[in-house]
Amino acid sequence: AAVDLPPRVSRAFPAELSGGMAQRVLVASALVGRAPLVVADEPTKGLDAARVAQSAALLASLGGAGRALLVITHDVALARALGGQLAVLRDGRIVEQGPADTVFAAPDHPYTRAWLAADPSTWRPCLRCCDLEAPVLSAHGLSFGFSRAEPLFSGVDVHIPPGGILGLTGRSGCGKTTLGNILLGLQPPSAGAVNWQGVDPYRDRTGARRLRQRYQKLHQDPASVFLPGRSFARQFADLAEVVPGLALNDALPPLLERLRLDRKLLGRRPGEVSGGEAQRLALARILLLKPALIVADEPTSRLDPLVQREAIALLAEIVASESLGLVLISHDRALLAATADEVLDIGAGEGTTTLPGFARGLQGA
């Protein structure tokens, strides 16, 4: 109840919960425990702004109960809300520490200043003109609801032109990931139709197989897209079987450099790299497939602000230079406002349009 989850969640399996709901279950588990020290590793990943504030208050309450709290986070807003002592790490060592209010008000170290300046609220918005007549993806009248439940959303129309970025936001559990999966042909809608450059992936199986490779998802959890016992080098080499003529030795090194990834990581397995490194390796693999559209589901939730800004800037650059489409799912409204051509809020039951006709006609539950 403290994290606003209904009793039925206690009987659900993890795969039946959204990422935000699962994260709140973890916060609840800390509240009912009796450990004198709680280490919270990215406790607000996948939560909207209201849930971040709620979780921060609940975590802070542990201190009032005489329990110690160590929070590991990239979330500037969470660090501000928790207060206490703040330590800033770079390359495995603490470069600055002290009372959180002091560090935020007057950071001494150049990295701390750069880290704070990289927060999405400081980004400069970037808008572009788009060709709305030739979308890489369109959808009309999309609705979805689980059986015997109120629909998560209904009446969604989307047009994503070449070079266009659609931001998708909303409260935790409102159906953002589900809508992204529907657009990718992974989850049939309750009503409506999806169009991949003239092909309906749910009705034209032959056409869908032909275009499947060009419609890709960048998952929130990178561990779910790599085989755990196989090195990254071997998993990248596997692309030769699905991408004819791929010159991996020529294409991969510059891409790794742009994503700030050491080539030595290719010799490791997924369990031997950080979540942020795994996410950037997942993005590199997708880009080698020459996609027409990427649905990126909270793609920077595991990245620090500096790497986040670079990764989003690279995504935006590739979207523009390669004329592909991007659906960017995020709870970070400042990030979306600075990056997307339009932001669609399915949690509020309406879309906010900066380009007329880009996405419209949303009614949410």
Q: Is residue 198 a part of any domain in this protein?
A: yes
The CA distance from 341 to 343, in Å, is 7
Token readout for 220 is 């929130």
Q: Is residue 213 a part of any domain in this protein?
A: yes
Three-class DSSP category at 358: coil
Q: Which among 75, 92, 122 is the end of a domain?
A: 122
Could you tell me if 157 and 13 lie in one domain? no
Could you tell me if 216 and 283 lie in one domain? yes
Q: What residue numbers bound the domain in which 355 lies? A: 137-364
* Total length of the chain: 365
Could you tell me if 108 and 148 lie in one domain? no
Could you tell me if 115 and 141 lie in one domain? no
The CA distance from 162 to 341, in Å, is 12
Residue 248's identity, in one-letter code, is: L
Q: What are the per-10-residue average pLDDT scores of the chain (365 residues)?
A: 85 82 82 85 78 81 81 87 91 92 88 82 54 75 79 86 91 87 93 90 90 90 86 93 86 89 94 86 90 91 79 85 91 89 74 40 38
Residue 216's identity, in one-letter code, is: Q
Model pLDDT, residue 166: 94
Q: Which among 98, 122, 146 is the end of a domain?
A: 122
Q: Is residue 221 a part of any domain in this protein?
A: yes
Q: Is residue 168 a part of any domain in this protein?
A: yes
Could you tell me if 196 and 78 lie in one domain? no
Model pLDDT, residue 124: 56
Could you tell me if 102 and 150 lie in one domain? no
Could you tell me if 188 and 297 lie in one domain? yes
Model pLDDT, residue 116: 84
Rounded to 10°, the helix 49-64/19-32 angle is: 10
Could you tell me if 256 and 189 lie in one domain? yes
Could you tell me if 28 and 110 lie in one domain? yes
State the pTM of this model. 0.67
Model pLDDT, residue 125: 55
Max CA distance (Å), the chain: 62
Model pLDDT, residue 279: 85
CATH number for the domain harbouring residue 56:
3.40.50.300
Q: Give how far Cα 319 sits from Cα of 24, 92, 139, 224, 294, Å.
A: 33, 33, 20, 24, 9
Could you tell me if 197 and 329 lie in one domain? yes
Q: Is residue 325 a part of any domain in this protein?
A: yes
Domain count, the chain: 2
Residue 187, H or E segment: none
Q: Is residue 127 a part of any domain in this protein?
A: no
Could you tell me if 82 and 141 lie in one domain? no
Q: Is residue 111 a part of any domain in this protein?
A: yes
Token readout for 90 is 């770079």
Q: Is residue 129 a part of any domain in this protein?
A: no
Q: Which among 96, 122, 148 is the end of a domain?
A: 122
Q: Contact 352/337 with Cβ under 8 angstroms? A: no
Could you tell me if 107 and 230 lie in one domain? no
Model pLDDT, residue 363: 39
